[in-house]
Amino acid sequence: MRWLAATLGALVSLVLSCAGGEGAAPRTAPRAFTEPPVTQPVDAPTPRSPLVLVTIDGVRWQDVFAEGDVVARGAWPETDAWLRDEGAAVGAPGRGEIRASGPHFVSLPGYAEILTGRAGQCADNDCKRVEHATLLEEVRDAGGKAALVSSWDRLGRIATRASKHNDVIVSAGRHGDPGVSPFPGEGDFRPDRHTAEVGLELLERERPDLLFLGLGEPDEYAHHGDRAGYARSLRYADAVLGRLRRALSRMGPRGADTTVLVVADHGRSAGFNDHGGHAPESARVWLLAFGARVTARGRVASPRPRSLSDVAPTARELLGLTRTRSADGLTELFGADGAPR
Ligand SMILES: [Zn+2]
């Protein structure tokens, strides 16, 4: 059971038990990509389990925790229920902050930080590549199946370090489909309802070890100054998370062993419409974690500041990839005891 202890130590790290958390062991055994050896040394890589990483572009922490003036309490019914049953939230008011590292609090740098675990991979939304390996290519290179499905076409640029994403499934944007209007985005943006259909269908059909599902409408509506559209797109994102939960419940032991992390790439300025380096408050984000490996419940307290760079180490632990340390020398967001660290 050493691997189990190691897995708990690491993984659970993020989510857990914190204040009021239950600290219970996973209800199901971690699922390996391949049959694990009969015995494993203490330092053997931990078994792999599937991960779904959902991003919701530019959603404020205030609106996730119903502390703002745009989204009312109860606007996330599916998410709130999931949190009560098997989830934890990082970055709630008074519980410690998680932030994008910046210094430019815009989308592609935020996504690059999430995907690589490193800040400074991307200076702005025009960057073409990332220098370091992404979680998607790490999964592929370890023999697993990885997929990125996003509303924003530019996210496809940084799915891997290469221009061709060999053997990583990438569906980013509408690909010029004249039958799909990009509104509320522009160019090759694909509305979230289309992105969600593709992503959820792919999850059940392809059963990737890592699925990155990038929703993008909240940020688009916010840039338009359309608060009602923003709130509506958040309710839609909540419905997508509910469908994701039900899809996983249909997937048997694999679904039961899947962890879901939900995070934003940046927050918003005090004025709401925009975000960026001129508005340091737009650095603050939030993170939700769901699944049997998440033993904490509700709003957990982080004893020290966390960043988007901490997401990838947590994901690597779950996925059984080579461990890494984030910039602050920490690895995962949660410790062996299940408490945030
Ligand atoms: Zn963004």
CA of 152 to the centre of ligand 1 (A): 9
pLDDT at res. 339: 55
Integer Cα distance of 199 and 179 in angstroms? 19
Neighbour tally for 278: CB within 10 Å: 10
For the chain, how big is the Rg over CA atoms in Å? 18
Is 211 in contact with 202 (CB distance < 8 Å)? Answer: yes
pLDDT band with cut points at 50, 70 and 90 for residue 307: very high
Q: What is the mean pLDDT of residues 82-90?
A: 92
Residue 297 has pLDDT above 80, yes or no: yes
pLDDT of 233 strictly over 50: yes
Question: Would the pLDDT of 187 be above 70?
Answer: yes
Using one digit for the tens of pLDDT, what is the confidence trace for 14-73?
Answer: 433 233 333 333 334 333 333 333 333 344 445 689 999 999 999 999 999 988 888 888
Q: Which amino acid is at 309?
A: S
Q: Ligand 1 centre from 286 Cα, in Å? A: 13
Closest CA to 65 of 269, 294, 264: 264
- Taking residue 160's Cβ as centre, other Cβ atoms within 10 Å add up to 26
Ligand 1 centroid, distance to 109 Cα (angstroms): 9
Question: Which amino acid, one-letter code, is at 218?
Answer: P
CA 125 to ligand 1 centroid distance, Å = 9
Mean of pLDDT values over 178-191: 96
Q: So what's the pLDDT on residue 324?
A: 64
Give dist(CA 273, CA 255) in Å, integer: 37
Ligand 1 centroid distance, CA of 57 (Å): 5
How many percent of the chain have pLDDT more than 70? 81
pLDDT digits (tens, 9 = 90+) for 246-272: 999 999 999 999 999 999 999 999 999
What pTM did the predictor assign? 0.85
- Mean pLDDT score, 179-193: 97
106 Cα: distance to centroid of ligand 1 (angstroms): 5
* Token representation of residue 306: 């966390």
For residue 333, what pLDDT is reported?
A: 66
- Which pLDDT belongs to residue 318? 87
- The pLDDT of residue 309 is 93
Instruction: Decide: 182 and 149 in contact? Cβ < 8 Å.
Output: no
Instruction: Give residue 317's pLDDT.
Output: 86
Q: Residue 56 phi/psi, 5° resolution? A: -125, 110
Q: What CATH architecture applies to the domain 2-22+44-319? A: 3-Layer(aba) Sandwich (3.40)
Q: Could you tell me the end-to-end alpha-carbon distance of the chain, in angstroms, rounded to an integer?
A: 24
285 alpha carbon to ligand 1 midpoint, in Å?
11
Distance, CA 302 to ligand 1 centroid (Å)?
A: 24
pLDDT mean over 181-200 = 97
Interval between CA 70 and ligand 1 midpoint (Å): 18
Q: How far is the CA of 216 from the centre of ligand 1 (A)?
A: 7
266 Cα to the center of ligand 1, angstroms? 6
What is the arithmetic mean of pLDDT over 178-207? 97
